Structure 1
Amino acid sequence: MSSLFVFPGQGAQQPGMLHRLPQNTVVEACLKEASEMLGEDVLQLDSAQSLASTRGVQLCLLIAGVAGSRLLLQQAPAPDYVAGLSIGAYPAAVVAGALAFSDALRLVSLRGELMQQAYPQGYGMTAIIGLDLATVEGLLAQVHSAQTPVYLANINADNQVVIAGSDAAMKAVAELARVRGAGLAKRLAVSVPSHCPLLAQPAEVLAQAFAQVPLQVPVLGYLSGSRARPIRTVEPLRDDLAYNMCRVVDWRGTVQSAYERGVRLHIELPPGAVLTGLARRVFEQGTAIAFDGARLDTLQALLREEGVEP
């Protein structure tokens, strides 16, 4: 049986999230490394003001994921697989040994700036809960146009998807969704239209920066959140990381793929526990647990237990 670390995407951020990481020399070293690399005190990034920027959010998610993982792995075996939702793919690649933390910091800083500059206002993402994928795709087809762009962005679960586009288009789809019986149509704390063709141009610029960065073959199983399958070689991994901002996230498929590969321990790195709730719908057997709210020694014991061959 196998284990999986998962890393959340934008929308999971919380003010003070870096300050709430456990006080430990491993965490402190990670924060110091990030501050020196970026030339700024990263503990200033988790303020409510900083988290209003895409760059601040994405850097916080990267740093929290890497710091939490390093702390866990100080006294526990590495997981068999890693996977990240959107920006979560970057800490996943770092933990998998494929991307240096210093390079990830530079790339994520650029990624956030590119996304923010492309759509400084008037766009975002909306979660729709309670309708199946086919129904939501039908609603998107009704609303989408050159003037009111709106796209499928995330497939999170059988009855939970996220759409991305202009404010007016998302509002129109949300109203139609409620008429069709959606339990919830909620604007997310994301200020850019991620995971759709609207971000194709920023992704091309990021890919150019990626071309200058050395990557390594992952030493852990790296599951792509876009393709919902493992990526084992460098160039497909480079493509996955650079372009995931403009590709649909198939998180439902990614978690299902992990389960089918024998994963029975799913640990969500900070912040939050949204992915843990989604995983419990798939994990009929095994354990889905979040770093936040759990004891460190409990998580480490679970990893050691899962690493023992039956």
Structure 2
Amino acid sequence: MPLLGFRKQGELQLFSKEHFLDLLWRLDECDASDIANRFKIVDESQAGQIDISESGKVGIDFARRVQGELAAVIQEPAWTLPRLANWIDTGIKHPDITNPSAVVFFRSALNKLLASGHDLDTLARNKYDLRNVVAGFISDLRSNRETDNYSALFAAHADQFATSAELSMIFDEQSYALNQPYAGATKFNKHYTPLIGDLKAEGEEFECAVYLDRLDTVKYWIRNIENKKTSFWLQLPHGKFYPDFVAMLDDGRILVVEYKGAHLFDSEEAKRQIGDAWADACGGQCLFCMLTDRGFDLIDRTIS
């Protein structure tokens, strides 16, 4: 089973994230302005604790008062903007970003919050919530970067995709890994291994499997299991794509089929893009199609 390769400096390598994220990320060049929209402090005057004393009186301690009492007991060093930025940095893992670049971004984010009306003492008092918000912000920025770089690679270097005998995998009974065996009443005659993994006994994916099993042009087919080392995969911007089915045709060609529900189909452009790139790189020996809404006749059209 050929895997998708990408030529880098004349060498054909297995296509992976490194080919579109090959440089450290300059987070300090990103705009930190949106932190002001993301970080909100809950109205402290509305949060508190109600308690009943031994004499039956009701007492209310609001969060602001509690925080003030805690601040008097816990003697923290004076917070400065650089110290708070460094504190945020120590709690966020960012292997793709250098520490200086991250700290510059954190300082910029803090300055944006100060400019929006927050004061440093309040930010320091809410530092754990602040760090969680910053971590989520970085995660979103990272996701956008991956998507943009992935699309740019296809636009500029689509001709560098290729396949070779050295980049391949093998399906066999001994290494076929599954989570749950198929236990339905319908008998399949062409599945490549005796056990079929992770296939429900009803539904649209099941119907797709039945369609493949009954096609005269299909010699064997196999249920491709997601997130297994012995499964076929293609690289996406944010992870790996494990198509639902792989089939060997009578004429020796390989057909890869992905089935998507109609509500998800339009959002899966990246999967169609990488599937088509893989098929093109195989020089006519491999085929790819993505089906939806029980359009199983697309399999026949793809084969022919």
TM over 0.5: no
Q: Kindly indicate which of the two structures has a greater share of residues assigned to helix.
A: 1
- Structure with the bigger RCO (C-alpha within 8 Å, sep 6+) is 1
* TM-score for both structures, normalised by structure 1: 0.24
* TM-score for both structures, normalised by structure 2: 0.25
Decide which structure has the larger Cα Rg and report it: 2
